[in-house]
Amino acid sequence: MLLGIGLFGLIPKLAHAEYRAYELEVTDLYECRVSKRKDCKTQVVRTAQDPEMYARTHGGSARLGVIVLAHWMCRGDTSNYLEICPRPPAKNPKFQPGDTVKVTLKKHITEGWKGTVELVYYQAMIQSNVYGIRFTDRRGVYARYFEKDLTKEAEAPQSVPPQ
């Protein structure tokens, strides 16, 4: 019996690793304050570091502003500087980037807000598309919503000038 248990320990086992990937919008707040800019420069970063850790290791939260645009699970590992897996594509999305949508999420602070779809991706854990919405009329607030919490806002009719 002990021999069987010992031999079992020698058999290599397959291990499957996974990690969470993030797409972050990063703003250099210090440079923005020093230059006294109204609109600060931002960049989009794809990483396996959570937003708080990313800010800490890249200058601190007093210097960097970090917003989570999207997050998803990846199989494998990121050792040896391997690439982060890509954001999963949306499955039959109801809205596309650039569409104007209205939030219908009841009893939520953003209920009734109108924004623009910036990105769409599929989140397998919840089996739903997730939409990143930017509210430019609300100082650029960014939030993520499910399809059921949004409706498409009709485009304003273009008035044709009389001839």
Q: What is the pLDDT of residue 139?
A: 87
Q: Is 54 helix (H, G, I), strand (E, B) or coil?
A: helix
- Against a cut of 0.85, is the pTM above it? no
The tokens for 77 are: 């590992």
Both tokens assigned to 110: 């953003």
Residues in the chain with pLDDT values less than 70: 1-15, 37, 155-163
Q: What is the pLDDT of residue 153?
A: 79
Which has the closest alpha carbon to 119: 156, 153, 72?
Answer: 72
User: Which residue do the tokens 């949004």 mark?
Assistant: 150
- The DSSP result for 66-90, as a single string, is EEEEEEEEEES--GGGPPPPPPPPP
Number of Cβ atoms within 10 Å of the Cβ of 85 = 17
pLDDT of residue 103: 96
pLDDT at site 8? 59
What does residue 83 show for φ and ψ, rounded to 5 degrees?
Answer: -65, 150
| Residue whose C-alpha is closest to residue 83's, from 46, 28, 135, 36 | 46
The per-residue pLDDT for 22 is: 96
